[in-house]
Amino acid sequence: MAQLAKKTTNIKVVPVEEEKLVPPWKEAWLAFCKNRLALIGLGIVIFFIIIAFLAPIIAPYDYKAQKLVDRFQAPSSQHWFGTDDFGRDIFSRVLFGARISLWVGFFSVLGSVVFGTALGIIAGYYGRWVDAIISRIFDIMLAFPSILLAIAVVAILGPSLQNALIAIAVINIPNFGRLVRSKVLSVKQEEYIMAARAVGMRDSRILFRHILPNSISPVIVQATLAIATAIIEAAALGFLGMGAQPPTPEWGKMLADSKNYIMQAPWTLFFPGMAIMLTVLGFNLMGDGLRDVLDPKMKQ
């Protein structure tokens, strides 16, 4: 017994290393990096953001400078993307057009997220007649085709880039509102929300500290995809002459100005169209990657 006790006392206790906790944002980023298509989309988006900021430095010509002698020049070392019907350098106009398209995309979606999230939270949390009124407004707005509703808003406010931004923000509010409402309806039934009500926590504190943080993940994914849609809608309004006005180098307006010269100078449509396609592709790929990371249903 004495020998057994002596052996027992000589045993060295090896401390077990605590498992390192990975922050949620880092875990999400590592999961995002495993998706190659999402990284390609992120790279495309970053590329267009960089050229949008550096457009005044990169652009070899003034996007408004007209030189009728050089009209319809094919792509060359002097004009990389050729020139349009006014002799303006298309490469410079595409660079500055990135500023406009991204500006419209980001800020129109930001407005949709702010108002749509606010209305969705109010409708989902309070319910009853408040939910009925807000939901019926969303249903009426969604009953119209989005582009027709945007045209109606611009027709009321007047054709301009700012009014096109407002119109795009307005037509996307129901999408975010219904998304947030459905999320709030499930979150407010959780036990911690009921406990917060039981201890007398104010509604405003419950909304901002518990419900909003737990409902924001699908909004982030939807917002990323909505930017791509907003860029297309801005280009559509510009193509119809209800968005940016000359001489603003908006991609949709550039397509509208060049549609009559598709056989004579196809490069005048090709490069703005490629810019729209690549930007939308980048946001869609990045949005799909974020959905796989942030949506619990997509996790295996």
pLDDT higher than threshold 80 for residue 178: yes
Q: How far apart are CA 30 and CA 220, in angstroms?
A: 18
The CATH number linked to 271 is: 1.10.3720.10
Structural domains in the chain (count): 1
The answer to whether residue 36 sits within a structural domain is no
Does 77 fall in a domain? no
Whether residue 157 is contained in a domain is answered as yes
In sign, the C-alpha dihedral spanning 255, 258, 264, 268 is negative
Note the pTM of the prediction, 2 decimals.
Answer: 0.83
pLDDT in tens, 66-109: 888 888 889 988 889 999 888 899 999 999 999 999 999 999 99
Q: What percent of the chain has pLDDT over 90?
A: 26
Report if residue 6 sits inside a domain.
Answer: no
Residue 263 lies in a domain: yes
15 inside domain:
no
Give strand pairing partners of 89: 83
Q: Which residue has the tokens 């998304």?
A: 179
Please tell me the distance from the alpha carbon of residue 251 to that of residue 241, in angstroms, as a whole number.
12
- Coil/strand/helix, residue 83: strand
Residue 258 belongs to domain spanning: 54-60+86-298
Q: Is residue 234 part of a domain?
A: yes
pLDDT at 18: 46
Q: Are 84 and 258 in contact (CB under 8 A)?
A: yes
Whether the per-residue pLDDT at 13 is higher than 60: the answer is no
| CA distance readout (Å), 90 to 73, 99, 105 | 10, 15, 22
Give the count of beta carbons closer than 10 Å to the beta carbon of residue 78: 12
Identify whether the C-beta of residue 83 lies closer than 8 Å to the C-beta of residue 90: yes
**Residue 101, domain member (yes or no):** yes
Distance, C-alpha 267 to centroid of its chain:
28
**pLDDT at residue 157 above 80?**
yes
Give alpha helix (H) positions in 21-160. Answer: 24-33, 36-53, 55-58, 90-126, 128-142, 146-157
Q: Is the pLDDT of residue 4 over 50?
A: no
pLDDT digits (tens, 9 = 90+) for 214-259: 778 788 888 888 999 999 999 888 888 888 888 888 888 888 888 8
